[in-house]
Every structure is written in structure tokens, then in C-alpha cells.
Structure 1
Amino acid sequence: MNIQAGLDISKRNIIAPLKVVLKRSGSIESVHRVHAVVSDEKGRILMRAGNAHLETFIRSSLKPFQVLPLISSGASEKFNYGEKAIAICCASHNGSPLHAREAFKVLWNADIDVDFLQCPTPVGRKSPLEHNCSGKHAGFLATCKKMNWPLETYLKGNHPLQVEVFRRVAELLGLPPEELLAARDDCGAPTLRLELSQMAMLYAHLGSSKQAQIEAISRAMVSNPELIAGIKRFDTELMLRAHRQVVSKGGAEGIQCISRLSDGIGLAIKVEDGSARAKRAVALHLLRQLEWLTPTGLQELEEQVLVINPGVELEVQGELKFLES
């Protein structure tokens, strides 16, 4: 099923999607449609709004799972990577000196030259280390170094590294790896097209402590939220206020995935038109409904990540609903 087919399924199969309405001086100016689903680690859909089976690309929300081979290969142990190294490999950071330095350390510990990075140098910057995906790429290279896999072709879909990433993701979803559909992300690395419920299922695994390697990734993320995105950016600001109980990782084109660690359930959000402001507004709305953050924390988070101009307001309509038996 492609994304358009997913948007056109019959009404009897869906609960109404959420709507984000932008009003200017009280008049409606824009409307965004948003799908969201909560799943457990067995893939059971617990709550939803809109189409839980919508297929779209997970984009950078895949990063915590692209780190798995770094740990399972023994590379993280061989190169003495701590939680900061794992966190930067999961990051979509803002290219600050802090972030670039941590990505460089991943390469330095593995004795890999920066020139092997295949993420682009951002416009106006001086190094690929400043690219928001540099940590992920550094982790890819470190894994290849440990496994004696080619460094020059680490982004190819048939490279042993990417095959292993697909295998691990498929294993978590209970699927044969050949059923996964990959496409090139903007940084050059493969990303996957998944159902929204499958994304939520992956994050339910991330929120569970049943698998040590996955638990190490979630622990690294919540212990180092400033590395995952950056100050005043959604993922960092949410995790700073969640007392190590919520892990969050967004992706481009309106993708947001969140997990409640103590519950082992995952939430996945997709804005049809890819709007970032609508994604943030819905995430705040659903965090409030699910009570995953305190009222004070939610207010502080909203003040940091949902700044809009005077005379303009965002209103989220709808909520997650339990499935009827």
C-alpha cells in the first residue's frame, strides 16, 4: 500500500484523524490532518486517531534502531563508547560544536578519518560533522571498522551493515526482512517505509527493558537529551522534562515517535502535509491526553517549542480513542 492508498481507505476502517487548525485573528487560515497510533511491543493497537495502518517513511525516527549493530557487533565495547556516543548516533542534532565534537569522538576512538563520512556538509558550514546525521554516520562507520566491512560503501542498501539493520528491525516487527521497503533519506542513508502502527511498535520495544541492547539505547537517549536534538528543540526539551520516563525522536515530513519507558508502549504520529508545527502541536496534545508529562512540564515544553506570532493560535481537534471490541 502506498501513502496515497493509505489516505484513501474507507471510513468504516478508521477513526477520524486529528485536525490542527491555525487561526489568524479568529479566522481559519490553515488545517492539517494528522494520524496517530499507540501500540504495545506485540504490535497490538491500543488507541488511534485516523489510519493506524497508514504507510509512510519513518525517516530519522529510525535512528535508535540503526544503532543496534553498533552494540550487537561489539563495536561500542571495543571502542570504549559510553552513553554519549550512543546518544549522538541516535541524534538529529543542530550541528553545534557540542554535537560535532561528540560525533568526532566516535570516529576518533575507532581511528576513522572524517573524510569517510558521506553525509553532506550543510550549507554555510565547514564540515560534515555539522550535519544533523553525522553521529549516525559515525556509528555506521565504527560498526564497519569493527566488522571489517567496507567503509566506502556503507550507505548502499546491500551493504552488510544495512542488511543487518534491516534484519534487526524486521525481527522486532516479526517480519521477514525482504518485506521491508527502503528508500534513500536526505542524508544518503536508507530509511524504511512502515505502517504507523509498526513505528509505534518499534518505540514500544524502545520503551521496554526486556532486551538489553535496546534498553541501552533508550537509557543513553534519556540520559543525554541535549545531544539528541538541541536546546529549544522538541525531542531535547521533552526528554529534559520527563524525568527519564519518556524517549522521543522525530523525523522529517511530520513524523514523531515517542515511548513511555515505564509502560513499554509507543506512540507514532504522522502529519499528512509534513507540517512541523502541526506535529509539535499534536504531540503536546497527546502527551496531555496520555498524561505522560506533568501539567507544569507540558506548559514549559509548549513555551519552548510552540512559539507562534501574536494574533495566531493553533487548535488541535480530536483525541486518541480506544478501539472498540
Structure 2
Amino acid sequence: MCAAEALVEIHRGPFLESQHMGHAVICDSTGGIIEAWGDPETIVLPRSSAKMIQALPLVMSGAAQAYGIGPDRLALACASHQGAPLHVQAVNTWLADLGLGDGDLICGTEASRDKELRFQMIRDGETPCRVHNNCSGKHSGFLTLTKHLGAGANYVDPSHPVQVSVRDAFEDVTQMESPGFGIDGCSAPNFATTMHGMARAMAFFASAGQRNDAMSNAAGQLVEAMMAFPELVAGETRACTHLMRAAQEPLAIKTGAEGYFVAILPKRGIGISLKIADGATRASNCAIAAILVRLGVLDAANPEVKRFLNPPVKNWDGLVTGEIRPVAGLTGAA
């Protein structure tokens, strides 16, 4: 990974203490680059930022329609959720409607990221289940497609029909052959592309309403679902949920592990991809907020935006000792 640019700074008192380097690309509806930082041709694993791409076959195959998958479940299929009670209940109900259960998921167990539920489960002596995994919604989508296709149970195998269809969709929307894949935290293949390729893909989703083919129609449904149910896409305290709620125009955004973030602007047909080179979530949250402020999608003065754009650095006694902030000019402000 080369030619990354400084995107986010950490200040302590009057001193610049740390910097986060990264890459970002903004594409228009034709896939052309409007603006970029770093190297647009850097190869990346978009991690969970690719979930709306991984959900395309669920809709395109007719599985979503056949199994009555509404917008709320489509949002869950694109989610990295908190494992809060509303997420767990929704996934359990989805699995039950399929005649399946927790053991059919291949995402692994994960303690709930919802603090209240996690602590309550500890007090009650309960162990985490697979439905608590932040990817259980995506995997419920995979299971729905598996059942629709009559395919084998190991739906995360790269040669499984579900993952073959995911790779085909991924290469279609990125407009390039993927150079390979890594295995994600939830055991599913995560296909690689360039920063430009991922921004092209998000621009495809953003401009889906301008076309009437099957893939565009599916992309449009997924974007509308994410925007309609931001609380299912992530959860309280999470940047995805709060920034979508704070947006001044239609916006779908999705984080991914290791400092990845994407944004979809349907009103403009614009897609954004962002990668923080050192994988820091604090920096990807800040940088995506800054770029969206730059575009006029977010208001920097909105408290829900400021909590990610300019979060304070506090010590153990609660004293504010510094600030996380975008590099000068990233928000477009002088």
C-alpha cells in the first residue's frame, strides 16, 4: 500500500501527536473520479463495507421475493449490527421463518456489542450465540439464498453457488476482475478490488434509480432499505446509524473492519470509498464524516456529526486532553 495521504490528526494540547494516513475516492455515476486522496489503484479488502454487494444475489435471484424478505431484513442483510435485542430478535425471527436456527449460521459466536445486553447475559450466566454476531443478518441472507437454490449447507465455501454469485456481482459492480479474496471475520470470502473499483461500485448503487435492469433494481432496493432502517444497519452509538440520521439528503453509508468506509449518495449518483491505512476505526469515522461535510451532505455543527468528526480525547479522569480531527482542508473549510 503506497502513496497514502494524511487524512486524520490526533492533537494533545497544542501538539500534533499522531496522524492517520489513508486513501479515498469519490466517483460519479459514470465511474469517473471526481476527487481522490492517496492512490485510487491501491488494492484493498473492503470487508463489511461490501455487504450491500454481497446481498445483491439475494434480491436478483428472486429469493428475497420468494421468502417475503422486506426492507427491514434487506437492511439486516447489509448490516454490521450491534447484537442489541432488536437485532437478535429480528435475526431469530428470520431464521425461524426459514425453518432454521442459530446452529445453521456459519458466522461464529460473538459477544453482543450492545453493552447492556452483554452485561445482562454475563449476570444471567448466558453464553453468546451466533445470532449475536454482527454479521448474522448477512448470513441469514446467505441462508435464504442457499435454501432458494437448494444448495449445500456450507454456504461460505468460495466454490458454493452463493459465493460464486457474490463474486460475479462484485466484479460486475466494481467493473474489474477481483485479484482474489481473504476470509473475513465471519468466515465468508471477502473479495479484493481497488479503491477506484469500490467507489465505482458505490456509484453504481447511488445511480441505480437511473436504470431498469435487474441488478440496478436490486441495488436500489438495498439502498432504500439501508436508509429506511439505519438502526438495523449498525445501532446506537455507531457512525453508520447516526450519520445517516443526520444527513441533509438521502445517504447510505457502511463501515468495514480495518478502517474501511463507503458512502452512497442517491440524489447525486455519487459513490465514495475510504480506507485508513493503519485500520483505525476512529480515523475512518472522522474521515468519512469530513468528506460528507465537504460535499454538503452533513453539517459540521450538528452534534451527531461532531461526535465523529471532532471527538474529544479524554484521560481516565474525564479531562479533555485533545481532539481527533480531519486534516486541514478535508472538510472543504478554509
Aligned to 1:206: 205
More deviation in 256-265 or 312-321? 312-321
Superimposed CA distance per residue, residues 46-93 of structure 1 (whole angstroms, 9 cap, x where no aligned partner): 101111111111000010011111111211111111111110111001
Q: C-alpha displacement at 1:216, in angstroms?
A: 0.2
Q: C-alpha displacement at 1:318, in angstroms?
A: 4.8
What is the number of equivalent residue pairs in this alignment?
306
Q: C-alpha displacement at 1:315, in angstroms?
A: 3.1
Aligned to 2:32: 44
Aligned to 1:234: 239
Query: Relative to 1, partners in 2 of residues 1:304 and 1:87: Cα closer, same or farther, differing over 3 Å?
Result: same
Contact 2:9–2:325 (CA under 8 A) maintained in structure 1 = yes
Q: Residue 142 of structure 1 aligns to a residue in which SS?
A: helix
Q: C-alpha displacement at 1:45, in angstroms?
A: 1.0
The 5-angstrom pairing of residues 171-250 of structure 1 reads 171-176=172-177, 179-208=178-207, 209=209, 210=211, 211-242=216-247, 245-250=250-255
Q: 1:316 aligns with which of 301, 323, 326?
A: 326
Contact 2:175–2:200 (CA under 8 A) maintained in structure 1 = no
Contact 2:109–2:128 (CA under 8 A) maintained in structure 1 = yes
**Aligned equivalents of 2:28 and 2:97: distance in 1?**
37
Which consecutive segments of 4 or more residues in structure 1 shift more than 6 A?
none
Aligned to 1:293: 298
Superimposed CA distance per residue, residues 98-133 of structure 1 (whole angstroms, 9 cap, x where no aligned partner): 111111222222222321101111147421000000
**Aligned equivalents of 2:96 and 2:110: distance in 1?**
21
Query: Relative to 1, partners in 2 of residues 1:174 and 1:304: Cα closer, same or farther, differing over 3 Å?
Result: closer
Amino acid of the structure 2 residue aligned with 1:217: L
**Aligned equivalents of 1:117 and 1:220: distance in 2?**
23
**Aligned equivalents of 2:274 and 2:67: distance in 1?**
35
RMSD: 2.0
Q: 1:134 aligns with which of 136, 139, 158?
A: 136
Query: Relative to 1, partners in 2 of residues 1:115 and 1:244: Cα closer, same or farther, differing over 3 Å?
Result: farther
Query: Relative to 1, partners in 2 of residues 1:217 and 1:156: Cα closer, same or farther, differing over 3 Å?
Result: same
Contact 1:37–1:196 (CA under 8 A) maintained in structure 2 = yes
The 5-angstrom pairing of residues 13-32 of structure 1 reads 17-32=5-20
* Structure 2 residue ranges without an equivalent (≥5): 112-121, 315-319
Q: Residue 35 of structure 2 aligns to a residue in which SS?
A: strand
Amino acid of the structure 2 residue aligned with 1:129: V
Superimposed CA distance per residue, residues 289-322 of structure 1 (whole angstroms, 9 cap, x where no aligned partner): 111123454x42223673532021123225569x
The 5-angstrom pairing of residues 244-323 of structure 1 reads 245-297=250-302, 299-303=303-307, 306-309=311-314, 310-319=320-329
* Structure 1 residue ranges without an equivalent (≥5): 9-15
